[in-house]
Amino acid sequence: MEKSDLQNAMHMLHQQLKGRRFFIVLDDIWQEEAWESLLAAFPYEDRASRLLLTSRSRDIPRNAQYVHDLQLLNPDKSWQLFLKKAFINNTDGKCPEDLENIGREILRKCNGLPLAITVVGGLLVRQRQSESEWERVLKGLNSHLGRSGSSVSAILELSYQDLPPQLKSCFLCLGFFKEDAVIRARKLVNLWIAEGMVSQEGEGKERVEEIARSYSDELINRNMVQVKEWGKFDQVKTCYVHDLLRELSITKANKEISFEILRQGKSQPLDKARHRAIYCSTESFIHPPNTHLRSLFVHGAGKVDDSPSYWKSFVLLKVLDFEDFDLKNLPDTIGALTSLRYLGLRNTKIKELPSSLGRLKNLEVLDIAKNFGLKVPNVLWKMANLRHLYMSGIRCQFPLIIDALRNLQTLIHIPANSWAFDQHLSHMTTLHKLGIELEESTDVGKLCTSLAMLQNLVYLNLSGPVSQCRQSLDGLNFLHSLTQLKLDVFLTKLPGASNFPPNLSYLSLEDTLLQEDPMPVLQELPKLLHLNMRDAYSGAVMMISQKGFLKLKVLSLRSLLELRKNTSRKRCYASDQTTRDLQMPSSKEPP
């Protein structure tokens, strides 16, 4: 962020907080200068407001009124955490008697550090529960401890060495992301595949994403990756990596796959680096050409060299990620990167894509979402290997041709005027997830008829501007393969239960602002397991009958601002089921 932008942001924050009581947490402040530069943003008034800082440096809070030093876990709490992590698969969560002594010896090496206990627990949970196996772990721990002198480093090193080869490769990619980054699980999976780190031996290519998902689940089970947010059906939506594990990933990647991090004016590039992450400011930062480079991640802001000779030097590049980068234009020379398999342009400032993009014949993932108003040329149909296409709010001079993409699995979100309403859709047999941005003139009935040709479609997202969409959704019942539906359009009322997809198990209603109580319809959906509602209903009362929602497991209610009372003759979330995110900020009587 430029200094002027920072000053403006601080002034705006100061004005918003002035005259109010607030409690603000500033997490992980490293430098005293950074803390002092932010002080002006917070009004100093006698209103019982509080600032809470966390830091690893004792110099940071020198002017704080109160300092709380986090203590290490005592032996009892250490043992409780150890049992929770190492015996998560045991029904009773207890340590067998024959393993308790060696377990406590392993725990003693952790020195009460929660991260060390968590990671070593994740290591042990993958081992056979036998003395010989745990003795092997203890021996390895002592060996690494002798070399590093740090219990945490020894445990992290041992956990890394215990990973199977394919998981080691995946773990090394975690250092490509910024510190404290919230990582979309979907992006992580796509990157691993593009990097060639997911084996397809003995598996059909359509299942490669599921294999990669199992890799991420395994790293989470081993506590090498932490879950940030859960999605539907207990799938991980976002995750993050602890700072120390990220540092381990960077160190290992530097040695094993020639990974380097370049910072503005502070780094000397390697001659034969194969993977590179760049942290740059607003100045032009021209990193040197490299014919060996396989992946490039750019963070920050800056100008990109658009000379043909420069980009042609990256002939072997498979992954190029500019996500959240202040990129204002994409050079036409991008078409020279014919080996590219992943191109990430999410949330940049690009206004138009060059037509040379059509030359990327090997591209499998194109992410141009969150570039609202982006002009997209009609060349995507040339990318025969494209598997995942993410867009939102794009502009097209001519409707995009997409029915030629026979390998496409994900298409989120395509304008309705670019959707092909013809028989060629039957060739798109691999399309599983689809998002369509509706328009005022969209014939939803005709749209659903065309969607019925997609025999493997399981997820559909229909969205549109609130001011334009009062859509009738008749025709959804033709979608027999569909199990997940998200409606993000303004509706007066829902269609009847018989007009919904017959196999629907997940339904999300967002910004629908229904005027009629939706529960009499929704409770009749026979296979519904998960119902999410956000800004979905403008009424004050919802009624659920005793025989409604026979299979519902998750009910999430958010921002139903007028809801005052939920009258139910039966709790639709019975004792053997769960309810998440039951949030109604304006409700006086919670359900």
Tens-digit pLDDT string for the chain (591 aa): 556 677 888 889 999 998 888 999 988 887 777 778 888 888 887 768 888 888 877 677 666 778 888 888 999 999 999 999 999 887 788 899 999 999 999 999 898 999 999 999 999 988 888 999 999 999 988 888 777 667 788 899 999 999 999 999 999 999 999 988 999 999 999 999 999 999 766 555 547 999 999 999 999 999 999 999 998 888 999 999 999 899 999 999 999 999 999 886 666 777 789 999 988 765 555 667 778 999 999 988 777 776 777 787 888 999 999 999 988 888 888 999 999 999 999 999 999 999 999 999 999 999 999 999 999 999 999 999 999 999 998 988 888 888 889 999 999 999 988 886 665 677 888 999 999 998 878 888 888 888 988 989 999 999 986 444 455 677 899 999 999 999 998 887 888 999 999 999 999 999 998 989 999 999 999 999 999 999 999 888 888 888 889 899 999 988 888 876 554 544 443 333 444 444 444 443 333
CA angle at residue 40 from 37 to 42, to 5 degrees? 120
Contact 125, 86 (CB under 8 A): yes
Cβ within 8 Å of residue 159, ≥6 positions away: 119, 120, 122, 123, 222, 224
The first and second tokens of residue 530, run together, are: 């998960």
CA angle at residue 485 from 376 to 377, to 5 degrees? 5
What is the identity of the amino acid at 432?
A: H
Contact 28, 55 (CB under 8 A): yes
Residue where the block lists tokens 């760049």: 278
β-strand pairing of 506-510 with 342-344: unpaired
Q: What is the predicted pLDDT for the residue at 1?
A: 55
Pick from 88, 82, 64: which is nearest to 137 by CA? 82
183 has which bridge partners? 239
The first and second tokens of residue 84, run together, are: 């929770």
Q: What is the predicted pLDDT for the residue at 471?
A: 59
Q: What is the predicted pLDDT for the residue at 565?
A: 53
Angstrom distance (rounded) from CA 266 to CA 355: 36
- Could you give the count of Cα atoms lying within 13 Å of 232 in the half-sphere of its Cβ? 17
Coil/strand/helix, residue 461: strand
58 C-beta neighbours (distance < 10 Å), count: 9
Q: What is the predicted pLDDT for the residue at 251?
A: 95
Contact 190, 342 (CB under 8 A): yes
**Domain extents for the chain?**
3-63, 75-161, 165-246
Coil/strand/helix, residue 336: helix
Q: What is the predicted pLDDT for the residue at 126?
A: 83
Q: How many residues does the chain have?
A: 591
Q: What is the predicted pLDDT for the residue at 443?
A: 83
% helix, strand, coil for the chain, step of 5: 35, 15, 50
Contact 375, 398 (CB under 8 A): no
Angstrom distance (rounded) from CA 264 to CA 279: 7
Radius of gyration of the chain (CA): 27
The one-character DSSP state at 174 is G
Coil/strand/helix, residue 262: strand
Q: What is the predicted pLDDT for the residue at 574?
A: 35
Indicate the burial class of 555 (C-beta count within 10 angstroms; 0-12, 13-18, 19 or more). Answer: buried
Angstrom distance (rounded) from CA 158 to CA 257: 19
Angstrom distance (rounded) from CA 8 to CA 2: 10
Q: Where are the alpha helices (DSSP H) in 297-441?
A: 308-312
Assigned architecture for domain 165-246 = Orthogonal Bundle (1.10)
Angstrom distance (rounded) from CA 118 to CA 220: 11
Q: What is the predicted pLDDT for the residue at 303?
A: 72
Coil/strand/helix, residue 558: strand
